[in-house]
A and B are shown apart, each in its own frame.
Chain A
Amino acid sequence: MSVNKVMSNKWMIAFYVLPALILVGILIFIPLGLSAYYGLMDWNGIGEMEFIGMENYINAVQDMKFWDSAFHSFLLAFFSTLSLIVYLAISMILASKIKGADLLRKIYLIPMLLSSVAIAQLWIKVFNPSNGILNKMLMGLGVENPPAWLANPDIVLYAIFIPILWQYAGFYILIYYAALKNIPESLIEAAKIDGATPLQIAYRIKLPLIAGVVKVTIVLAIVGSLKYFDLIYVMTGGGPNGASEVMASYMYKLAFSTNDFGYGSAIGFLLLVITLIVTVIVRKLTADKEELQY
């Protein structure tokens, strides 16, 4: 009872929210505002700033390299979203009381427990053109000139997508698995009595019931892909010659390698704007008229 009393006081609510709000403000919103502001400057990050108005933003919009990197980011977003179907299928199988589901679930989760840098090192070794396990295997199968995965500008982007998708597989499988486990057994039983096939149960009953979770994961996958950085930075540094550059790595390169903090900040802010727009569009597209209830 006393809890309800406290929570009816608006000031108390504000008081409890305040610490988190201050943290979010200081750590996220103020830096956001600052990077938008730095984007208006000609600044090498070291010396004096000089106000140049919208020049950085105009340059960025006309910068083909930026749009190339944006295209790569969107490709990643596309494949991440596509891969959700596979994860969903795997979760459905895991959730349907097969033998060893518990063990398999843990195996799928392992990549999530590794740090990005460790994953990058692992896959650098896998992709090594002459000593890597992948090419050794291909050569064993009789392929004469297996590709140099991280060196060929036509392949590198797709090669690097594999570990990125692999890295997050466990995360999505875990979410789907938890959601599927929440579906009351009685519903499935009822469907079975009505003569529904397993495929029908999956598609007509399970999927609609976890639609909310699926939508959230779609947004997570797209937003996560658009701002993706780690593996690209460690494995190729965006190379060769920009073939695997994504928006975040391009921003980093501008700010830290070419000493162009102003321009880098502008790109960073554009990255935020693009991600926001895409998020809104995705939410609109996946918006449902009616919420399904168990």
Chain B
Amino acid sequence: MKKKAVTLFLVITSFVLVLVGCSGGADEGSASQDGKTIEFMHLWPEGSSAQHHKIIEDIVADFESNNEGVNVEVEVLSNEQYKDKMKVLSTSNELPDVGMTWAAGYLEPYVEGNKFASLNDVLESGLQDSFVSGTTEAYAIEDTTYGLPLELNVAPIYYNESIFEENGLEVPQTYEEFKQVVATLEENGVDPIALGNKDRWTGSLWYMYMADRIGGPEALSEAINGSGSFEDPAFVEAAAKIQELTDMNAFNAGFNGLSDQEAKSMFMSGQAAMYMIGTWDLPNYTTNEDVPQEFRDSVGYFKFPTVNGQGDQSSFVGGPGVGLFVAENSDVKAEAKDFVSFFVEQWGERSVQDAGVIPATKVDAESMDLPQMYVDVLNDLNNASNITLFADVQMSPDAAEVHLNQIQALFGGEITPEEFAEAHQEAMTSEE
């Protein structure tokens, strides 16, 4: 008898809980009925990008207090989950009113499927001038811009100054000097370069720089967009140089099975001397209080060296990161456009000061108190002769998949540089 009573009690409580759960959800929906609701989805969770998350919260709060009756509903997902959810939502035509997108290749299917609204009117209302030139273009297809970029990144090589000092090393200017640095570190039992090539785009950065230095930025851009060829001897040589580095054990052991996150922690714990990553990581080496001061002070950066005396050191691999889009079928399009415009303006200032990242809008560095490394990177960026957009972002998803797999195979020594070039060419020609 007693047992029965307990079971009954449990069943009833769980039922009540379910009902409460449901009604909670219903409440949220009805609260917005008197005003307008902008759904906003972003990919900077509190855990992994605390500063970004905080800035977004502030901007949303400011926007809501400036605009009576408009409510912004925020949903946060981490990077990979975000990409998956975008796909699922767009198949059922339920994209959020405002969300984040990447440039070029990522954007294309959404534009072709008529999912993103044109943001030309937002730009023409004066916002265009506040962007660094070349950044909004990456989000444009045939003169229509579908995304407003938030970040601008280039990828320098960060290095641990104290490790360099201990081994009596200087910052290399040429590839020959670079090899010397690698050889010395390797001899002294330090992993020269931290690389997490499970993520694949990390290795792609190294190849792209090598190709840029040997073949030049124009040839590289042409090869990536399909008008040139990856079978150009310069690019085969670049692939061979990558294998030369892997043969020298320039990268940490087992890099093909390690994520970028794991590689980063190797660099940040002083196990590896160098690490190439985008400038979105700058806060870790400048302002992030969670990283020991001692380590932050010992990190410097240098530009990818010239190779065979060729190449321009101020040519970078990089480009705008995520940008904001407005959904074409949004029922609050006007408010959504106001929101992205407000967001971009606010982001420009706060991202510099609070997060220490480089926004796609122009930064007035002099009026702010910024870490020296940040100012240096900003100067390099302003003096850059060229920025080649990340290959996997620029290529169509199919070609990017081939490229990324080939990168893993090239670094892993599974294929020859010639086969690497061939596979690319095949993928690019089958596109047409």
A residues bordering B, Cβ < 8 Å?
A: 44-48, 124, 127-131, 148-153, 156, 236-237, 239-242, 253, 255-261
Contact = CB atoms under 8 A, between A and B. Distances in A.
Contacts of B112: 44, 46-47
Given A130-B252, A258-B401, A153 B262 contact: no
Contact of B254 (A45, A48, A149, A261): A149
A151 B87 contact: no
Interface string B80-115: 000110010011000000000000000001101111
A137 B259 CA distance: 22
Contacts, number: 107
B115 A46 contact: yes
Contacts of A152: 254, 256-257, 412
Instruction: Pick the most buried of B191, B198, B266: most chain A CB atoms within 10 A of its CB.
Output: B198
Contact of A241 (B266, B271, B398, B406): B406
Contacts of A260: 397-398
Nearest to A237: B198
8 contacts: A46-B113, A128-B258, A148-B255, A149-B257, A151-B254, A151-B412, A152-B257, A236-B198
A257 B198 contact: no
B414 interface: yes
Q: 4 closest pairs, A vs B, by CB?
A: A148-B254, A150-B257, A129-B254, A47-B113
B45 to A, nearest CB: 15
Contacts of B271: 130-131
Instruction: Pick the most buried of B113, B255, B256, B271: most chain A CB atoms within 10 A of its CB.
Output: B256
B113 A130 contact: no
Interface string B173-213: 00000000000000000010000011010000000000000
Instruction: Pick the most buried of B115, B253, B262: most chain A CB atoms within 10 A of its CB.
Output: B253
A153 B113 contact: no
Instruction: Pick the most buried of A149, A242, A256: most chain B CB atoms within 10 A of its CB.
Output: A256
Given A46-B115, A47-B109, A130-B191, A240 B87 contact: no
A164 to B, nearest CB: 16
Given A240-B197, A256-B84, A260-B398, A44 B113 contact: yes
Contacts of B262: 124, 128
Q: Is the interface of A mostly helix, strand, loop or mixed?
A: loop
Contacts of A258: 397-398, 400-401
B408 interface: yes
Interface of B: 83-84, 87, 90-91, 109-110, 112-115, 191, 197-198, 200, 252-259, 262, 266, 271, 397-398, 400-401, 405-406, 408-409, 412, 414
A46 B197 contact: no
Contacts of B200: 239
B257 A156 contact: yes
Instruction: Pick the most buried of A46, A127, A153: most chain B CB atoms within 10 A of its CB.
Output: A46
B46 to A, nearest CB: 19
Contacts of A241: 405-406, 408-409, 412, 414
A110 to B, nearest CB: 25
Contact of A47 (B114, B197, B398, B400): B114
A148 B256 contact: yes
Nearest to A261: B91
B386 to A, nearest CB: 28
B254 A44 contact: no
A259 B398 CA distance: 8
Given A46-B87, A259-B109, A153 B414 contact: yes
Contacts of A256: 83-84, 87
A236 B191 contact: no
Contacts of B408: 239-241
A238 to B, nearest CB: 9
A86 to B, nearest CB: 27
Nearest to B405: A241
B113 A48 contact: yes
A45 B412 CA distance: 33
Contacts of B191: 130
Nearest to A65: B405
Contacts of A46: 87, 90-91, 109-110, 112-113, 115
B110 A257 contact: no
Contacts of B414: 153, 240-241
Given A46-B109, A241-B412, A129 B258 contact: yes
B422 to A, nearest CB: 15
B200 to A, nearest CB: 7
Contacts of B259: 124
Contacts of B253: 129-130, 148, 151
A253 B255 CA distance: 21
Contacts of B113: 44, 46-48
Nearest to B253: A129
A153 B401 contact: no
A22 to B, nearest CB: 19
Nearest to B269: A131
A142 B412 CA distance: 25
A128 to B, nearest CB: 7
Contact of A151 (B258, B266, B398, B400): B258
A240 B412 contact: yes
Contact of A44 (B109, B197, B406): B109
Contacts of A127: 257
A131 B84 CA distance: 32
A291 to B, nearest CB: 35
B91 A240 contact: no
Contacts of B83: 256
A255 B253 CA distance: 32
A161 B87 CA distance: 30
